Amino acid sequence: MKTRAVIAAVLLLLVTLSVSCRSSVVEESITENSTEEELITVGFSQLGAESDWRSTNTESMLSALSKENGYNLIYKNGQQKQSNQITAIRMFIQQEVDYIVLAPATETGWDTVLNEAKEAGIPVILVDRRVDTTDKTLYSCWVGSDFELEGQKMATWIHDYTTMIGVAPEDIHIVNIQGSIGSTAQIGRSKGLSEAVKEYGWDLLDEVSGDFTETKGREVMADLLQKYDNINIVYCENDNEAIGAIDALEAAGKVVGPDINNGEIMVVSFDGINIKALEYAKIGKISCIAECNPLHGPRVQALIEAIEAGETPDKFNYVSETLFSSVSGITSIEVEGKTYTITPVE
C-alpha cells in the first residue's frame, strides 16, 4: 500500500508540473515540449521588432520551425541590443540546442560567442544580416538579401526616371535617411546610393540614421527640412522611415510625389511589407520600393534539413526580390547586365 501511495504521489506531481509548464507564457521565449527527443531544438536570437519587416520575418521563422514541422524552438527577442543577443546565444549553448539561428544587430563583435558555439559543436545559421569575421567557419551559412544590389537597383531606377523626365544630375538633391548604422542592410543600401552619387554626379546633401523606425524617420526628416531648402529626393532605407518622413514633409506643407520638376519631393524606400507604404506607393507618395523579402523561415528549415542529411549547403543563400512602383514610364532596369522588371503596385 505504501508503494502504491508513493507511485500515486509521484504521478500526481508529474502531472502538476506538466500542466504548470504548459500553461506558463514567457513573452520573449516560445518553447515546445523539449522532452520529445525526435524534435530538432533550435535557438533563435532575433535582433528585435523595430519594423514591420522584422515582425514578418519573426513570424516566418516561428511558423517554419514549429512543433508540427519537427522543431522545438526557443525564441529570444534581443530588443535591438547586441548584449542581449550574446546572452541569448550563451543560454542556447548551455541548453545544448541542436542549432542556433542568429539575426545579428550589427556586423561586428561576434567572434567570441560564435567561437563558443563552434567549440560546443552547434551549427550557427545567420539570417538577414551578416557578421564581420575573418573566420568564416564560425557560422555554417547565411540566408538573406543582397542589400548592396537593392541599393544599386534603387539608384538605377532613380537615374532612369530622372533622366526620362529631363532632370539634370546636378539638379538632384538627395538626403539619405539611413537604417541602423553598422547593420548589413544599412551598409549595403547606403553603399548603393553613394556609388551612384559618384557615378552620376548627384548632390547628396546629408545622411542621417533613422534607425529603421517611423518615429525616428519623422524626427530626422523634420530636422533635415530645417537645414536644407532644396531637397527633392528622400532616400529612406526602409518603409517605416519613409512613412515618418512623409508625415514630416506634409506637416511642413510640402507636396510628396514623383513630379520633382514642379516642386514635389520624391520619396523612395525599401522592404515592401508595410501595408501603408504599399498604399502610398499605389498613389505615388512613395515613388519606388525595393523589395526586401522577409520570409526566411522556410529557407532556414531547408538549410537545417540539408545539414541533417549530411549535406554542406551553400555559404550564402540569396532570396529573390523585385521593385514596386506605380510611376509610369519605367518598366524595367538593368544592373550589371541583368534586367529587373518593375512590378506595378495595384
d(CA 75, CA 214): 25
Which among 99, 4, 120 is positioned nearest to 45, based on CA atoms?
A: 99
pLDDT at residue 27 is higher than 60? no
CATH of the domain at 108: 3.40.50.2300
- 3 is a domain residue: no
| 189 plus 268 within the same structural domain | yes
29-68: b (≥16 Cβ within 10 Å) or e: ebbbeeeeeebbbbbbbbbbebbbbbebbbebbbebbbee
| 80 plus 184 within the same structural domain | no
pLDDT in tens, 152-204: 999 999 999 999 999 999 999 999 999 999 999 999 999 999 999 999 999 99
Whole-prediction pTM: 0.79
| 32 plus 129 within the same structural domain | yes
Per-residue cell: 285: 507618395
Contacts of 23 (CB under 8 A, 6+ apart): none
| 263 plus 233 within the same structural domain | yes
Number of domains in the chain: 2
- Domain edge (last residue) among 105, 139, 173: 139
Local confidence band at 112 (pLDDT 50, 70, 90 cut-offs): very high
Question: What are the phi and psi torsion angles at 276 (to 5°)?
Answer: -65, -40
- 157 is a domain residue: yes
pLDDT at residue 259 is higher than 50? yes
Three-class SS state of 291: strand
Cross-strand partners of 208: 177
For Cα atoms 54, 57, 61, give the angle at the middle one, nearest 5 degrees. 140
Average pLDDT of the residues of the chain: 90
Helical (H) or strand (E) element with 297: helix 297-308
| 246 plus 338 within the same structural domain | yes
Mean pLDDT of 284-295: 96
pLDDT in tens, 230-249: 999 999 999 999 999 999 99
Percent of the chain with pLDDT over 90: 84
Helical (H) or strand (E) element with 99: strand 99-102
d(CA 146, CA 55): 20
For Cα atoms 274, 105, 126, give the angle at the middle one, nearest 5 degrees. 90
pLDDT at residue 34 is higher than 80? no
| 106 plus 156 within the same structural domain | no
Domain residues for 126? 25-139
